[in-house]
Amino acid sequence: MTLSHPLARTLHLAVLLLGSLLILRPASARAESPRFAHGFVIYKTAPSDQPAHYQGTLYLSGDTSAPIWLQFDIGEPKPFFIARDLFVSEIKFGALFEADFTSQQHVDFCKGIQAQLAAAAKKSPLIASAATAATKAIQGEIDQYDKGRVRLNGTWTDRAKYDEMLAEKEKVRKADMDRSAKAAAALALQKETDRRAREAMAEDDKMRLANLNRTYASIPAQNLITTLGATVKTSGTLFDKKITLPARPPARKTLDTYIALPFLSEEQRIDTRLQILGDADTETAPALLTTHNVDATHTFMAQAAVYFESPGPGKPFIPRSQKEYAAFRQAVDQFRPSICDSIPDLIASNTILHHLKDAVPSDLSTPYLRENIAGYIVRYDVYNTDLVEDRNLRLIIITLFPAD
């Protein structure tokens, strides 16, 4: 519908007050759900109209973005068009009759709309009737609120129920906040615990590294490490032949407490572990080197090193430390207790096959003594060493191979 002559001033729109809600419905009404007014538009019917002749209508929705014709839905089958040069102003209600009405802020908004309608009606008498009807409908909203009622989801209800609902929501909100605060506190505690654990691990790693450095620097460790290449290579051969010592490796948890020696690149199947069986800060602590498969289910070879010392010329050789020798015996006895029985005879012999400077894999091919002991081939090598000046030392290295 467009405004083309004075008769168009007659609005084809019924303004009904039903239940104190302002709703718009076509004059030729069919049964349909009520739709609420969202504003009031004021317009001229001719460019020369003065304010006293302005017209106005409620609208359900409007589109004022077009350059020439402004379009409004006033409840008629066809849109209501107003030429842009005839448009005066509009008073926007928004969702005033539909939105939740629960606070003084909503009352203030309604009163602001009423004031705009009153000012427009005073200036333009022709729109006074529609403006007054709208003002009364809006006042009905305010009156409901003043009676202690609120509108929620389109339904007016007692404020006490609304307050109970708010209290319950607040209770839930506080509970959520408490849970969030507890979760945040637990997370912060966990982070602090993790931080302290990392610091402790870093300190342990620092101590472990210092101990590792001392261990690697110790002569017993070096004596065994010098044979690492040959030992790992032999272990790889045994791995291929599926030949192992008749003694299970220690549990993985125990193995992980020993020093893991670097893999040789061509033998990454072999896990080599070193135990220092005494004071790693000394040069003569006993040591045990073992090789395993990476799953720690089989042991391929074992080498043990221990020092004996003579207190003077013509004096017998005895363990440098009885406590360390006991630890050495315990480590070797896990394979078979009789393995160490030959040590006294070795020490008592006047024949020394190797010197310490010759302790390299190629020289170890001619052992001092070789025995078969129930599943083991045991090789004993005795070294004469001038490791410590003015001390008469003997180094015994015992190597265990599996018997074929």
* Residue-level pLDDT at 13: 37
* Over residues 215-225, mean pLDDT: 63
pLDDT (0 to 100) of residue 208? 62
Quick one: how far is CA 45 from the chain centroid? Answer: 68
Contact 347, 317 (CB under 8 A): yes
What are the pLDDT digits (tens) for 145-204?
A: 999 999 988 889 898 888 888 889 899 999 999 999 999 999 999 989 888 888 887 777
Winning range, highest mean pLDDT, from 54-58, 238-242, 284-288, 360-364: 54-58
- The answer to whether 45 and 8 have CB atoms below 8 angstroms apart is yes
- The mean pLDDT value for 75-80 works out to 90
- What are the tokens at 404? 């074929």
For 128, list phi and psi in degrees, rounded to 5.
-60, -40
**pLDDT tens, residue by residue, 333-349:** 999 888 888 888 777 76
- Tell me what pLDDT residue 38 has: 92
Burial of residue 399, with CB atoms counted within 10 A of its CB: 0-12 exposed, 13-18 middle, 19 or more buried:
buried
Residue of 95 and 231 predicted with greater confidence: 95
Q: Which residues pair with 21 in a beta bridge?
A: 18
Relative to beta strand 69-73, strand 299-310 is unpaired
Q: With a cut of 60, say whether residue 263 has pLDDT above it.
A: no
Give the separation between CA 28 and CA 6, rounded to whole angstroms.
Answer: 22
Q: For residues 404 and 367, give the distance between their C-alpha atoms in angstroms, rounded to a whole number.
A: 19
Q: What is the pLDDT of residue 266?
A: 59
Query: Confidence class of residue 26 from pLDDT cuts 50, 70 and 90?
Result: very low
Q: Categorize the per-residue pLDDT at 28 as very low, low, confident or very high, splitting at 50, 70 and 90.
A: very low
The predicted structure's pLDDT at residue 219 = 60
Q: Whole-angstrom Cα distance, residue 13 to residue 25? A: 7
Whole-prediction pTM? 0.46
At residue 312, φ and ψ (nearest 5 deg) are 180, 170
Q: Residue 41 is encoded by which pair of tokens?
A: 């538009």
* Mean model confidence pLDDT for the chain: 80
* Integer Cα distance of 132 and 118 in angstroms: 8
pLDDT above 80: residue 25: no
Is 60 exceeded by the pLDDT of residue 387?
A: no
Asked if residue 93 lies in contact with residue 39, where contact means CB atoms within 8 angstroms, the answer is: yes
User: Is residue 332 predicted with pLDDT exceeding 70?
Assistant: yes
Q: Kindly state the helix (H) or strand (E) to which residue 92 belongs, with its residue range.
A: strand 87-92
Please tell me the predicted confidence (pLDDT) of residue 4: 36
Which is more confident, 317 or 283?
317
Tell me the HSE value of 342 on the side-chain side, using a 13 A CA sphere.
18
- Among the listed residues 274, 266, 275, 277, the one whose alpha carbon sits nearest the alpha carbon of residue 235: 266
The 10 Å CB-count burial string (b at 16+, else e) for 321-342 is: beebbebbbebbeebbeebbeb
Q: What is the pLDDT of residues 349-382, one digit of tens each?
A: 655 555 544 444 444 444 556 777 888 888 888 8
Is the predicted pLDDT of residue 10 greater than 50, yes or no?
Answer: no
